[in-house]
Structure 1
Amino acid sequence: MIIELAILGVGVGALSGFFGIGGGTVTVPILLYLGFGIKEAIGISVMQMVVGSLMAAWIHHKKQTYSVGEIQYFGYGGIFGAILGGILVKLLHESILEWLFLGIVAFTLGRLALSSPVPTRPEVVNRPLYTAIGGGIGIFSGMLGVGGSILMTPVLVSFMGFPLKKASAVGLFFVMFTSISAFITLSWLGLVNYQAGMIMALSSIIGIIGGIWLLNKIQVNHYKSVLVVFYIIIFVITAYKLIVE
């Protein structure tokens, strides 16, 4: 099991570093296949996201991909939004959440496909707006159990004038806030398998480094094409689950 967890950690780390995602949508189903229960799988996934997002944030900070002094406000909003989202989970039916997620993915996919990978407008720098955006995306993170970067990247590119690669990096930075909050909560509830989580977390560091290296090497136009394909895959999988299953 150690080898399987290590390989999974490297793979998920590479996806996280390259696409700027937390990786939970990939990790949890595979952990279920390996025999872990759903709650245990979520705990392991969250622990990996904490370590992976911290490593990614450090690498991007060293590369000066973004200024932490400004984008940290996305994270502050995300913390409070995730709390509200967690409350809404109890109020909304599961099918509503699933269709809502599908609609959001469809919208962001359309915006991303139509947007230019090179900014056509000045980058918006507004701390209160950053907090509001982080809060709004945080609500969906809390409701749907995702890190939020899948929504953050298209919003930053389409509406905020962020370069595509920078938006992807900021999306993973945002995951750091939501995953730490979730990890603290799950640890308090006794739902984290620390041994399995640490194996995945440490091995994911290798993948994170490789994913970010590839992100910096690929041409932005090619990166946009790969990112759009990735979003289409997520959309198809979600739609199949809703319609067929």
Structure 2
Amino acid sequence: MDIYLPIAGLSVNALMIIGLGGAVGFLTGLIGVGGGFLTTPILIFYGIPPAVAVASSTTQITGTSVSGVLAHRRRKGVDYRMGAVIIAGGVLGATLGGFLFRFLQGSGQIDTAIAILYVLLLGSIGFLMAREASTALGFIKRKDAQSKKKPRHNPLIASLPMRWRFYRSGLYISPLAPLALGFVSGILTVLLGVGGGFIVVPAMIYLLGMSANVVVGTSLLQILFVTGATTLIHATTTKSVDIVLATLLLIGSVVGAQFGVRLAQKAKPELLRLFLAIICLGVALRMALGLGWRPSEIYTVQLL
């Protein structure tokens, strides 16, 4: 069943796009990370223009993060003060990212920039995740534990001025650190169509030292608002949001996430992380080949 995407300017198989959303939603529920960093490159592989793939992915992420925030709110797993600071930084970053996106789009380099950023991002994340999962599974020998106890948060962050108390997170740190974290996440959200959770969550744990029971809920809260702002920025500036594409992805991801959550309760977490790492490395390799591999025919003619 073909359907026309008005912004992308091409016809696609609706069931294929719903299936793609379902697969990404399945991974989201299975592994517990947002699927935006996989949705965008897979859409590009399918033939969707990179700018449209990025803008439409953020719209999908906005919709799927609502239910997650509500679920964590019911069990008091959200630090609203911390979330507000990260959201403020995220909105500022998204605004700057919108100008960068528009500049790259105007110069004709947006497709190349997106591909390069994804190769670097997915390659590094996939490598680190594969190493951590392999160590946990015993494939790589674990180093002896250090005798000194590590500080709860990074010493540089602990030295920043103007400390605030974040009671739900159990922290007394400067708001400048989460503000900067949100700023970086906002830029990546606009340029790559990702929610930023795969960067924000580890940073919350290992850099800020947040309590584990509020990390996921607070991350989802900032994703909800930052991707919402990003969708608005793309809709008003780059004009790249394809609501038909986003709706099809959303339908599939909502259904797929339910099956992923069920399987996640039975599978071993380390194997799931290793599985995701392999996917990330595979997608990064495919995008790297697309950057350097010369096609047999440089120009093609399409009859409409």
Structure 2 spans left out of the alignment, 5+ residues: 1-12, 137-149, 154-168, 294-304
Pairing 1:87-126 to 2, within 5 Å after superposition: 87-88=99-100, 90=103, 94=113, 97=117, 101=121, 105=125, 109=129, 121=152, 125=171, 126=173
CA contact (8 A) 1:108 1:151 kept: no
Residue 174 (structure 1) shift: 3.2
The more displaced of 143-152 and 92-101 is 92-101
Pairing 1:223-242 to 2, within 5 Å after superposition: 223-239=269-285, 241-242=287-288
CA contact (8 A) 1:81 1:134 kept: yes
Alpha-carbon RMSD: 4.0
Residue 157 (structure 1) shift: 2.8
1:26–1:218: structure 2 CA closer, same or farther, 3 Å change rule? same
Residue 120 (structure 1) shift: 8.7
CA contact (8 A) 1:22 1:147 kept: yes
Residue 95 of structure 2 is aligned to residue 49 of structure 1: no
Residue 218 (structure 1) shift: 5.9
CA contact (8 A) 1:148 1:174 kept: no
Which of 242, 245, 254 is the matching residue for 1:193? 242
Residue 204 (structure 1) shift: 2.2
Structure 1 spans left out of the alignment, 5+ residues: none
Instruction: Give me the whole-angstrom Cα distance separating, in 1, the residues matched to 2:79 and 2:221.
Output: 11
Residue 66 of structure 2 is aligned to residue 66 of structure 1: no
Q: Deviations over 1:40-96 (max 9, x none)?
A: 333432221110112221222224333334333222211212333444564899387
CA contact (8 A) 1:112 1:154 kept: no
What's 2:228 paired with?
A: 180
What's 1:147 paired with?
A: 195
| TM-score normalised to structure 1 length | 0.72
Instruction: Give me the whole-angstrom Cα distance separating, in 1, the residues matched to 2:181 and 2:246.
Output: 30
Residue 107 (structure 1) shift: 8.3
The more displaced of 43-52 and 222-231 is 222-231
* Same amino acid, percent of matched pairs: 25
Number of equivalent positions: 239
1:67–1:169: structure 2 CA closer, same or farther, 3 Å change rule? closer
1:231–1:175: structure 2 CA closer, same or farther, 3 Å change rule? farther
Q: Deviations over 1:158-178 (max 9, x none)?
A: 223346685455444433233
Residue 184 (structure 1) shift: 1.0
Q: Deviations over 1:202-229 (max 9, x none)?
A: 34223334445655x368xx42552354
Q: In structure 1, give the amino acid aligned to 2:269.
A: Y
Instruction: Give me the whole-angstrom Cα distance separating, in 1, the residues matched to 2:260 and 2:252.
Output: 13
1:46–1:110: structure 2 CA closer, same or farther, 3 Å change rule? same
The DSSP-based 3-state class of the residue aligned with 1:50 is: helix
Instruction: Give me the whole-angstrom Cα distance separating, in 2, the residues matched to 1:169 and 1:242.
Output: 34
| TM-score normalised to structure 2 length | 0.60
CA contact (8 A) 2:54 2:191 kept: no
User: Comparing both structures, which one devotes a greater share of its residues to strand?
Assistant: 2
The DSSP-based 3-state class of the residue aligned with 2:78 is: coil
The more displaced of 179-188 and 11-20 is 11-20
The more displaced of 74-83 and 95-104 is 95-104
Q: In structure 1, give the amino acid aligned to 2:91.
A: I
1:18–1:164: structure 2 CA closer, same or farther, 3 Å change rule? farther
User: Comparing both structures, which one devotes a greater share of its residues to helix?
Assistant: 1
